[in-house]
A and B are shown apart, each in its own frame.
Chain A
């Protein structure tokens, strides 16, 4: 799962190399969503902050 955002971004960069801007930006956006999902999965512990 953690490898997915890197792979999507690599595919997006390859799309850019082929001058396919819309496809590249679509893959970038997908990667952004996956990254936020992975962050939500990993940010589960409560922060030990006291005010």
Chain B
């Protein structure tokens, strides 16, 4: 059965290649830092399941030292010039989009159909991980198609991948780090502490006050945790269920749906949601790390207010 482990091997091999190719990049003064960073990440992906929690912890700390103290540079792999790209774009026409479209096509088809394939009574793919595995499969198939069609130098895909990943730099592991931080918060019962404060200090004896506290609380707690999924169980157990549903007789489905979406308004406004807000800024080579958040706030705030109003008028009516 194809499990997530295969996906980790694939990603690990890719990071190992980034590490090796970084050594020879004379244009990058800090190339040893890059090599060490991608090599450690490769070890984590290839061996993380086998080396134990403490070794994994030490790897993370080493990654943080390298990334946190500016020991990574930006490599300059040989690539095509803007002129060559323009010429190639003109010559190859819209066919250049096809390999890029293979990725989503395979991701969708794989998600829908791979689950039902069985080999000798065993499912071919682990059903719970089918989307990620399909995405990786799509990336591999798209790469194969592009290699056959374009016939680039053998190392070009790895070098081009390194060109992009170096512009992302340490931010490449930020989302994973934040997810791990969320797990530590959970372990330490941070949510319980927030609930205590919320229920002790906010006067919630009117339906409107409860709805406001719940929706705005979801957004604020999401801003702190970076993830509406972490905020939802806490805020719902603290305010949503005891007050909106049980005390004032609100509809739990409406409360849950709009409550979660209020949390998403918070996700749009926080650097803690790194994969949505910080990584794209790096991917698009924006000098301001918070540029994406700034573009989102003027939508997020009106939408949060709209959600609050919407919940107030719907939740006690249906």
Check if A and B associate.
no
Using a CB–CB cutoff of 8 Å, the interface residues on chain B facing chain A are none
